[in-house]
Chains A and B, each alone.
Chain A
Amino acid sequence: MALSATDQHVSAAPGQVSRNAAGSTFAEVDDSHRIVPSIEFRDVVLAFDDRVILNKLSFKVLKGETKIILGGSGGGKSTIIKLVLGLLKPDDGRVLVDGEDITDYSEAQMVAVRKKIGMVFQEGALFDSLSVYDNVAYRLHEQKLPEDQVEPEVRRMLRFVNLEDAIDKMPAELSGGMRRRVGIARALIGDPKIVLFDEPTAGLDPPTARTICELAMKLRDLEDVSSIFVTHEMNNLDYLCSEYAVVNEEGQVVFEREGERLCLTNSKVMMMKEGKIIFSGTDETLRKAEDPYIQKFLRGH
């Protein structure tokens, strides 16, 4: 089946093609290490006082996969991300990152795990007292890397999010969308193989939200990054589940729509309600689901 590439969209932000994209081979597919999920939840339970936030939650995020978590506010979506980072501990169940059980890890042990993970916060969560450069370089500065190694890396990441011009600005001088993109650049420094997005497009205008989704697609398709993308915006779902990033003959990153019958995007959808998974699968099956809550969520009424 030929790919229908009629709805091709050229990226506004010329991204850098990684070694992963250039050197992708079938050997990668056969790699037994890839069978181990990047993130796995096993019967995770979490409650705050009498309020159950997550109720026996189990799911996996495979290598290179984007797991889109949908659900209404207060449904426990962001809590999942905090559990992966070890910012919260479950009351019961196990949390595994790259096959490593981190459930009982101390704060000191989590430092090594967190190095593998990039996190994009809802409002960017940039450090107000630091410039864009220092925000993005934060992780490298903490590792005491020399400045001549830090600067090229920071510039590479800011180029990836198309914000190299803002390198000397302070967070207060940036718009909401720019703050999120700096947040993405900061999360990606050190090339983490897992990236967590906590409602990164909330409150943004549609073109900026589209740009954020394109960055997530580039990470998925060109950098082989596994990610959790928490959102409640349906346009995010459309972009992430029906488009994929490729590099065209001119070396530019372009976004193409998947075909009618051929699914090329490595995104899975999970919908949550009151701490439980009420749907898990592809966007096509989600749209066909008969659950009234899902239908109401999809239609908005």
Chain B
Amino acid sequence: MNFVTRSIFELQETTVMTARAVTGVFKGPRYFAETIAQMDAIGVGSLTIIMLTGFFTGGVLTIQTFPTLAFWGQQGQTGRLVAVSLVRELGPVLTALMVAGRVGSAIAAELGSMTVSQQIDAMRALGTDPIRKLVAPRMLALLITLPLLTVVADVVGIGGGGFAATSLYGLSFNEFLTSVRDGITTDDILGGVLKPTCFAVIIGAVACYKGLNTEGGTVGVGRSTTRAVVTASIVVIVADFFLARALQYILGMPAQ
């Protein structure tokens, strides 16, 4: 199979698997305990790196934009710029990329190891559908936790931006917060939560598909893990472009 044929085939197989996982969420047997465990591993486990990423991204946004805004006498708008950038774009994308790296790799490696050691076959032989048992809880956990993690990243990021603005440039924190409140609209927040929902499906589907289709022993597990992270990251960034444009139409955000 050449690259194009293989890509189309993988897209088809990933879509079928995702559809079966969605069906698995609504039809029994349901795996609540597994879903909660995955939410803990994905959500709580990723909290530290997401907070760190958010804080320093907000801080660096202030560092990069404050001097330019000050040049035009608009330093009071720093909070608006940081908040809008984070909520609309950087929060969802950076959180998704961090989760793709941390969680996507873990899912692909775990499922890949299970595949090469015949645990997936054993599961099927014992009458369990691996899509329902393994894929559905992971995707559901990602769907719930990724938007929440994004909100955390946004809030901590704004905090980081405020910290840099006050400690490095002497801007009052109240002034910063006021401009944040003035800058963010409900549509921004809605868009900032819709995006990670889509990214969660992408990361879950890609990581599970790559893991379940691992071949070639332990070397194959490494290969699947790398491919899962690279593919998920690229698809997230590409999808972000189209989502941003789509949200401008759907939510009536300013396109020009």
Residues of A within 8 A of B (CB): 82, 85, 87, 107-108, 111, 114-115, 117, 119, 121-123, 125-128, 138-139, 142, 144, 186
Contact = CB atoms under 8 A, between A and B. Distances in A.
A125 B124 contact: no
A142 B29 contact: yes
Interface string B114-148: 10011101111111110000000000000000000
A114 B130 CA distance: 14
Interface size class of B (residues with CB under 8 A): 10 to 19
Nearest to B1: A49
B21 to A, nearest CB: 13
B117 A123 contact: yes
A252 to B, nearest CB: 31
B117 A115 contact: no
Contacts of B29: 142, 144
A142 B119 contact: no
Contact of B119 (A82, A128, A139): A128
A85 B123 CA distance: 11
The main secondary structure of chain A at its interface with chain B is mixed
A142 B129 CA distance: 11
Contact of A127 (B122, B125, B127): B122
Nearest to A143: B127
Contacts of B114: 127-128
A39 B118 CA distance: 23
A125 B127 contact: no
A139 B133 CA distance: 13
A126 B114 CA distance: 9
B118 A121 contact: yes
A123 B118 contact: yes
Nearest to B37: A129
Contact of B125 (A85, A123, A126): A85
Q: In the A-B complex, list the 9 residue pairs whose CB atoms are closest, starting with the nearest.
A: A125-B118, A125-B122, A119-B125, A111-B127, A114-B127, A121-B118, A139-B126, A85-B125, A125-B119
A21 B123 CA distance: 30
B127 A139 contact: yes
Contacts of A111: 127, 129
A138 B122 CA distance: 11
B121 A121 contact: yes
B124 A142 contact: no
Of B113, B119, B125, the most chain A CB neighbours within 10 A belong to B125
A114 B124 CA distance: 8
Of A114, A117, A125, A142, the most chain B CB neighbours within 10 A belong to A125
Contacts of B118: 121-123, 125
B126 A142 contact: yes
A130 to B, nearest CB: 10
Contacts of B125: 85, 87, 114, 117, 119
Contact of A142 (B117, B121, B122, B127): B127
A138 B124 contact: no
Given A139-B127, A142-B128, A82 B121 contact: yes
Contacts of B121: 82, 85, 87, 121, 125
A119 B124 CA distance: 10
Contacts of A138: 126, 128
Contacts of B128: 138, 142
Of B119, B126, B128, the most chain A CB neighbours within 10 A belong to B126
